Every structure is written in C-alpha cells, then in structure tokens.
C-alpha cells in the first residue's frame, strides 16, 4: 500500500560547510540526498517522495569538530506491504518450486507451489502453472495474491514477501499493458 507518513531525520552538516549561515535549502538538499541513499526503512517502507516540510530544528553541535545536526520533520510518500493485504504483481521467474513475482519496488514476492494448490507445474521451454480451468500462471502474467508474510532485508534495504493464491478472487488476472515504462 502507498502511504503518506510523517518522518523525522537528523541531518548532519559537516563543519566545513558552516563557514556561512546554513540555509534551509542546503539542509533540505542534504535530507533528500540522505533519503535517496537510505532508500527504505523497515518501519515505513520504500521512500518515494518528500511532500511537505514541517519543521527544521535548531542545530545541535555534535562534537569538537563542529559538526552540527538538524532534526527535520517532514511528510513522505512511501510504499510498504502488510501481511493480509491483497496486491498485484507480475511473474518474473518460474520453477517447479514456485514463482517469483515483482511488485512495485519489491523484486521478490515468492509464491510457493504449496500455495498454488489448484495449479500444476508444466515444465518446458516456457514453464507455467496451470489449473483445471486452464487458468495459466507464466512469465509476464499479472497475479493477484495475498501477502502471507513480509521480511525486511537490512543488508540490501529491501522487503521480500511470501504470497498465496489459495483463495477465491486470487490468481492470474488479465490487465492491459506491459511492464515497460511508456516514454
């Protein structure tokens, strides 16, 4: 789900940049740069865009070198998945064990073969999962799935999900369009 949440971050300004008064613009530029590098957090999800600046605190000198920290409060658009949520994703990889879906900024949503109980694996050049009603899950197909679990990977600052289609209203859907960005 996409959210607009309030966040607080400490922006550290090096003493070398303090020979003249620090502008709000400079602090904001540092904040945006920091968020770009941070990419996502376990608590709030992937950072998409800062929408509103709420406050910039008075600078607090950190140490003898004169490095100063400004606490910035702002609202930010984020994407964060939750267990129990229904999402849509695109199949990017298939094996006999299951399917990997990509969903927005999340590259790995694993849909295990165990969680596609009505589907059978069909091996071949274009492997797929097929059910009795000839509904097919293959590479490039859009799948509506239930998020069973979410895991935060601190090393890469990414989320991964476990998915299921074992319920009515879940499974492959036909939606127009491709996954490529139309420029």
Partner 1 sequence: MMSGEEEENAAELKIGEEFLKAKCLMNCEVALILEHKYEQLQQMSDDPMNQVSQVFEKSLQYVKRFSRYKNPDAVRQVREILSRYQLAEFELCVLGNLCPETVEEAIAMVPSIKTKGRAHDDDAIERMLNDLSLIKKFE
Buried-exposed string 134-149: b where 16+ CB fall within 10 A, e elsewhere: eeebeeebbbbbbbbe
Query: Judged by CB, which is closer to partner 1: 4, or 10?
Result: 4
Dist. CA 90–CA 99, nearest whole Å? 10
Of the candidates 16, 36, 58, 63, which one interacts with partner 1 according to CB under 8 A?
36
Taking CB under 8 A as the rule, does residue 29 contact partner 1?
A: no
Of the candidates 10, 54, 85, 118, which one interacts with partner 1 according to CB under 8 A?
85
| DSSP code, position 114 | G
Query: Judged by CB, which is closer to partner 1: 17, or 85?
Result: 85
Q: Do 110 and 97 form a contact (C-beta atoms < 8 A)?
A: no
Beta bridge partners of 151: 160
Of the candidates 27, 31, 68, 80, which one interacts with partner 1 according to CB under 8 A?
80
Dist. CA 15–CA 65, nearest whole Å? 7
Interaction site with partner 1 (CB under 8 A): 1-6, 36, 39-40, 42-43, 46-49, 77, 79-80, 82-86, 88, 90, 102-105, 142, 144, 147, 149-152, 167-169, 175, 177-182
């Amino acid at each position: 789900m996409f959210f607009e949440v309030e966040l607080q971050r400490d922006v550290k300004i090096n003493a070398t940049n303090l020979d003249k008064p620090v502008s709000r613009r400079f602090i904001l530029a540092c904040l945006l740069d920091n968020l770009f590098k941070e990419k996502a957090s376990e608590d709030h999800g992937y950072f998409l865009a800062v929408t509103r600046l709420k406050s910039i605190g008075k600078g607090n000198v950190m140490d003898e070198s004169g490095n100063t920290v400004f606490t910035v409060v702002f609202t930010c658009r984020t994407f964060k998945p939750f267990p129990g949520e229904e999402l849509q994703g695109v199949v990017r990889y298939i094996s006999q064990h299951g399917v990997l879906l990509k969903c927005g900024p999340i590259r790995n949503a694993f849909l295990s073969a165990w969680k596609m109980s009505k589907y059978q694996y069909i091996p071949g050049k274009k492997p797929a999962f097929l059910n009795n009603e000839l509904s097919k899950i293959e590479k490039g197909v859009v799948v509506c799935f239930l998020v069973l679990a979410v895991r935060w990977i601190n090393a890469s600052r990414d989320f991964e999900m476990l998915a299921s289609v074992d319920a009515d209203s879940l499974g492959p859907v036909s939606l127009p369009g491709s996954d490529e960005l139309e420029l």
